Amino acid sequence: MLDWNEVERQRKEVYEKLAHLYPRDLLDAHMVYCLQLSHESAELLDAVTWKPHRRHEAKVDRANLIEEAVDVLKYLTNILLLHKVSEAEFRTVYEAKHSVVLERMHNEWLQHEGEDDAKK
């Protein structure tokens, strides 16, 4: 059976060892920003009628979509700033990842364009 007191003791021991690496206030702020980001992402999803089990005309509330996208960007930016990620560092990693994604798209989709039609 689970010994709750032992689990709590172990958790405290681990947190104490990591405290110098991850101050509690930093972790708390990170978690709060991630929760806010998650919430705003859900609101961004809801800016478009997307539920396939509902019969309705697809529509986009453009003004709301933009506002929710701004909220998502705000919280994402706050997370990056919290961890002292510079614009240059972010740009470097973003551009590298973008190149990888473009290569995947080319290799997995564009290079094989029309193959699915030929199999029909």
| Per-residue pLDDT band at 118 (split at 50, 70, 90) | low
Q: pLDDT (tens digit, 9 = 90+) per residue, 4-55?
A: 788 788 888 877 776 777 788 888 999 999 999 999 999 999 998 877 777 7
Q: Which residues contact 62 (CB under 8 A, 6 or more apart)?
A: none
pTM above 0.85, yes or no: no
Q: pLDDT (tens digit, 9 = 90+) per residue, 61-111?
A: 899 999 999 999 999 999 999 999 999 999 999 999 999 999 999 999 887
Q: How would you write the chain as a 3-class SS string? A: CCCHHHHHHHHHHHHHHHCCCCCHHHHHHHHHHHHHHHHHHHHHHCCECCCCCCCCCCCECHHHHHHHHHHHHHHHHHHHHHCCCCHHHHHHHHHHHHHHHHHHHHHHCHHHCCHHHHHC
Query: Are 59 and 49 in contact, with CB atoms under 8 Å apart?
Result: yes
